[in-house]
Amino acid sequence: MAEPKPPTLWQMLHSIIAAAFGVQSQKNRERDFTHGKPVHFVVLGIVCTVVFALGLFGVVKVVVWLVL
């Protein structure tokens, strides 16, 4: 029997975003815990957090620039 494939980048990204909003499905969570590598999820989670923070910072800068 073939060994199951690890989650793809898009599947991991979907899992991280869903988990951040608290809407991760049981099926995906089980797939992540059985076939995914924790370090991949940690690194991708940190990258997503930094991108979110920088995006929020950029939006605030633009709004403040437009108001002043």
Domains of the chain: which residue ranges?
A: 9-67
Q: Are 7 and 15 in contact (CB under 8 A)?
A: yes
For residue 61, the model assigns a pLDDT of: 98
With a cut of 80, say whether residue 3 has pLDDT above it.
Answer: no
Nearest by Cα to 17 from 63, 48, 53: 48
Token code pair at residue 1 = 């029997």
- pLDDT (tens digit per residue) in 4-35: 788 999 999 999 999 999 999 999 999 999 99
For residue 5, the model assigns a pLDDT of: 86
What's the predicted TM-score (pTM) here?
A: 0.82
With a cut of 70, say whether residue 1 has pLDDT above it.
Answer: no
